[in-house]
Structure 1
Amino acid sequence: MFNLSLSFISSFLVTMLIVRYAGMFGKFSMDYDLHGVQKNHTHAVPRVGGIGVVSATCFTCFVGALFGTNPRAETMLLLAVAAPAFCSGLAEDLTKRVSPRVRLLLAMAGAGLGVYLLDAVVVRVDLPLIDAYLVFAPVAIGLTVLTVAGLTHAMNIVDGMNGLASVTAILIFGSIGYVAHEVGDWFVMSVALTMVGAILGFVIWNYPMASVFLGDGGAYFAGFVMAELLVILILRHPNVSAWYAAVVTIYPLFETVFSIYRRRMLKGRPASQPDGLHMHTLIYKRIARRGVYSGHTRRRERGNPTASVYLWAMALIGIVPATLFWQSPLLLACAALAFVAVYLWLYSCIVRFRTPHWLLMGHHEVITASAPDKTRHH
């Protein structure tokens, strides 16, 4: 609990300073793009909240190493291998000029360093046909690099609403910390709890109304550390099913896989090209702010945090059974199938304007045909 408390306080204070002095560095830190296809905010907000999360994590890990609340060597190495992913995202936050390919390559480089420095290698996926090939080091290393980089970018994909990626990350890290406690893995548990506190300190400034965004740097850092902890947890503990890693992170992973399929196969567009058809965007536009006139800024702003609640509930379809049944491949596979079925059914309903009525409860229609005519006299 020391790591969680210290990282929370540190993150809260650093993020407060970022919010307080955002105007001084607004040219670099503010997100002024209010009309992008994936943008859902109504005013400029600093997008460097990841600095608060990373600063708090590093500070807590250093202090924890001094007081013996987390292993010194492994923790420092983990922070080192996470640096390329975070720095590439932060550079994009500040310059808006770092291509997705460069960020992907740097995340892969960090995963490669993790293999070398932490021995963090995917050695099994609990599928016999695939596990037979993972005995070959190049295959295992290649799969590790792809999966770690994939989850790193997946967390950035779902970072589209206030609190969406950050609270989802808190739930996943909380699950990882619990499973690590159950199997007695001090390193994984201490880092997971540190991440919970660091992200929670940021969330206070991001939800329900956003004074700061996590940014690419923060999302990449959270996703990368999450991926490394899962690889290490599965590697060290044979009683933890490899399916646990897939199911606890199934929301960001499946969102990413489905987005690639939708863009490449259905639309014939590059997978990296942004669009407004993510699940969270559809829920925001067609449920959370249903019928709201585009000029009603306050109502649109309220729809943003409301949309996140729907996605947190969806993420829990994977996180809860993963946390309860982390030793059972069969139950975890059933949970994965259940999530995929619910996701595809709900996406199909919303995109075809056939949203189930029970999802619309509490969202009242507002006249949308035109803005009120203030000059009209009766």
Structure 2
Amino acid sequence: MPNTSLFFTELFRYDAFIAGVASLITSLLLVFTKNWHGSFSMDHNSGIQKMHTTPTPRIGGIGIAVGVLAGFAASSHGIAAAEKRAILSTILLAGMPAFIFGLLEDVTKKVSVRIRLLATMASGVLGWGITGTAITHVDIPGLDFILGYTVFSVFFTAFAVGGVANSINIIDGFNGLTAGTAIIMLAAFGIIARQVGDIPLAFTCMIIAGAVIGFFLVNWPRGKIFLGDGGAYFLGFTLAWIAVLLPERNASISPWTSLLICSYPIIEVGFSIYRRKFLREATAVTQPDAVHLHSLANKRWAKKIFPNASKTTRNGLTSPFLWCYALIPCSAAIFFQHSKVLTLAALVISFAIYLSMYNKLAFFRWIPKNSAR
């Protein structure tokens, strides 16, 4: 059993603090200057998935990107920190296609889902090109043999990175939901990395978490700024790349541990595709709707528990319900990080909990029926 203790002083790293401050200041500046850039940066409050009441800047991803860059700049230039800086530089460079094409969608509203998906996959390929790292094993006989060939390994990595990045964008529906979930996921990755002695990766997670926290303080609970597609895709790529690095750098960690940590957004996007394809009269899988788990949690739980709260307040109070759910697989991953069997079992249980919650919220019963539509 690995040492689960974390040195208290490690939680107060200078570079992570600088990342948080830079992200916070940038996010606040974007809010205070919205009259200058609002003509192209605002997310208006009309649309099936819009839960805010006033037009709001949707370029908060700039704050996170600036925060990560500031954390990188503030990091020690000594030999001991070289590996951490290499990881951060890869994230900043390889994450640019995902960030730029997402940001273009934020300001033009004209970048298709397909182009954004390809951009996030390109970030995965670029990450491999910079580091030579790709997914080489998933503990599945046969598939591991195929992944031994570089071309298949790189393609699989690009597909996985693109999938996780887009799943993060899917859950970006309420104030603090994506940022809070990302903080939980980064904490899980960081704790596991620290437990197995991968200090550079652990400290990388802390710097990125600092940048996310800076944005989070402006985004939650009142939603003064939104993550936007640029932020969601950049953050999604970052989480996906860390998920790739953790088992590839540490042979004792099961690849399923990374999947388990990322399972909430992955389950959400997977079930959404299934729901739109088979349960809603063959609705296009890219067509937006307001029946995601977080949307139903807002309608059923937040509205019922806080009946006198304003729409904006209920928006922010919806996210903690989903943070609690995200904690389940992330906590299980920390305890079962070395066991393929236990992480798989935890993944199945997490999916079962998701389905039970969804059926309770959508159909008012915990157990689904075959006739449910």
**1:132 match: secondary structure:** helix
Whole-angstrom distance in 1 between the partners of 2:246 and 2:332: 17
Say whether the 8 Å CA contact 1:29–1:93 is kept in structure 2: yes
How many Å apart are 1:69 and its aligned residue? 4.3
Say whether the 8 Å CA contact 1:61–1:70 is kept in structure 2: no
AA aligned to 1:131 is D
AA aligned to 1:5 is F
Establish whether residue 11 from structure 1 lines up as the match of residue 23 from structure 2: yes
Say whether the 8 Å CA contact 1:244–1:322 is kept in structure 2: yes
AA aligned to 1:60 is G
Match of 1:372 in 2: none
Describe the shift of the 1:270–1:120 C-alpha distance in structure 2 as closer, same or farther (beyond 3 A): farther
Establish whether residue 200 from structure 1 lines up as the match of residue 213 from structure 2: yes
Describe the shift of the 1:3–1:348 C-alpha distance in structure 2 as closer, same or farther (beyond 3 A): same
Which of 22, 30, 37 is the equivalent residue of 2:48? Answer: 37
Establish whether residue 309 from structure 1 lines up as the match of residue 320 from structure 2: yes
TM-score (norm 1): 0.89
Say whether the 8 Å CA contact 2:276–2:283 is kept in structure 1: yes
Establish whether residue 277 from structure 1 lines up as the match of residue 277 from structure 2: no
Whole-angstrom distance in 1 between the partners of 2:46 and 2:26: 29
Whole-angstrom distance in 2 between the partners of 1:63 and 1:179: 24
AA aligned to 1:250 is S
> 1:71-124: per-residue Cα shift (whole Å, max 9, x none)?
344432331110000111111111111111110111111111111111221111
**1:151-190 alignment, distance < 5 Å:** 151-190=164-203
Say whether the 8 Å CA contact 2:18–2:74 is kept in structure 1: no
Which of 349, 352, 361 is the equivalent residue of 1:341? Answer: 352
Establish whether residue 247 from structure 1 lines up as the match of residue 260 from structure 2: yes
Match of 1:54 in 2: 65
AA aligned to 1:312 is W
Say whether the 8 Å CA contact 1:78–1:118 is kept in structure 2: no
AA aligned to 2:353 is V
**1:19-98 alignment, distance < 5 Å:** 19-32=31-44, 34-64=45-75, 66=77, 69=81, 71=83, 72-98=85-111
**1:312-323 alignment, distance < 5 Å:** 312-323=323-334
Describe the shift of the 1:337–1:355 C-alpha distance in structure 2 as closer, same or farther (beyond 3 A): closer
Higher alpha-carbon deviation: 246-255 or 16-25: 16-25
Larger radius of gyration: 1
Over 3 Å off, 4+ runs: 65-74, 290-293, 353-356
Match of 1:326 in 2: 337
> 1:146-172: per-residue Cα shift (whole Å, max 9, x none)?
100000111110010110000100111
AA aligned to 2:43 is D
Describe the shift of the 1:24–1:351 C-alpha distance in structure 2 as closer, same or farther (beyond 3 A): same
**1:117-156 alignment, distance < 5 Å:** 117-156=130-169
TM-score (norm 2): 0.90
Describe the shift of the 1:169–1:95 C-alpha distance in structure 2 as closer, same or farther (beyond 3 A): same
Whole-angstrom distance in 2 between the partners of 1:254 and 1:300: 27
Whole-angstrom distance in 1 between the partners of 2:57 and 2:105: 13
Say whether the 8 Å CA contact 2:60–2:231 is kept in structure 1: yes
Which of 260, 280, 302 is the equivalent residue of 1:288? Answer: 302
Structure 2: stretches of 5+ with no match in the other structure: 1-12, 368-373
Say whether the 8 Å CA contact 1:3–1:190 is kept in structure 2: no
Whole-angstrom distance in 2 between the partners of 1:62 and 1:232: 22
AA aligned to 2:297 is I
Say whether the 8 Å CA contact 1:3–1:69 is kept in structure 2: no
How many Å apart are 1:284 and its aligned residue? 0.6
How many Å apart are 1:136 and its aligned residue? 2.2
Whole-angstrom distance in 1 between the partners of 2:86 and 2:139: 30
Match of 1:371 in 2: none
**2:48 match: secondary structure:** coil
Say whether the 8 Å CA contact 2:260–2:343 is kept in structure 1: yes
Paired residues in the alignment total 352
> 1:197-255: per-residue Cα shift (whole Å, max 9, x none)?
00101111111111111111111111101111111121121101111011011000110
Match of 1:112 in 2: 125
Say whether the 8 Å CA contact 1:5–1:197 is kept in structure 2: yes
Match of 1:217 in 2: 230
Structure 1: stretches of 5+ with no match in the other structure: 357-378
Whole-angstrom distance in 2 between the partners of 1:73 and 1:160: 33
